[in-house]
Amino acid sequence: MWLFLITEIMFFGGMFAVYTVYRNWYPERGLRSRPAAWMRSSVPSNTGVLLLSSFTMVMAVRAGQLGQKKMIVIFLILTLLFGGHLPRGESLRVEREV
């Protein structure tokens, strides 16, 4: 599970790095329409929420391996809360675009 979390962090970090370098080297090839400021900031926050939900799931599995039932419940509830944030955030983004 830790390997999965590490690969996820490396993947998202690499994607943001490539995007940043590309945008700096080729600014004229930017987005066709200028996105709102809240939209630009939603991508890093959604990525952070994804990474946090993955981390809490890994911690729930670890707590299960150690037999800590109370911690399993706490980490699963946190995972559900983080996971519930993503559809809500996407629905708000789509609602604002329409």
**What are the pLDDT digits (tens) for 5-63?**
788 888 888 888 888 888 778 777 665 545 555 456 677 777 788 888 889 999 999 99
Q: Give the separation between CA 49 and CA 35, rounded to whole angstroms.
A: 21
Separation CA 54–CA 72 (nearest Å): 14
Residues 37-50: tens digit of each pLDDT: 545 667 777 778 88
pLDDT of residue 38: 47
CB atoms under 10 Å from CB of 82, counted, come to: 19
- How far is the C-alpha of 68 from the C-alpha of 62, rounded, in Å? 9
Q: Is the pLDDT of residue 69 over 90?
A: yes
Question: What global pTM score does this model have?
Answer: 0.61
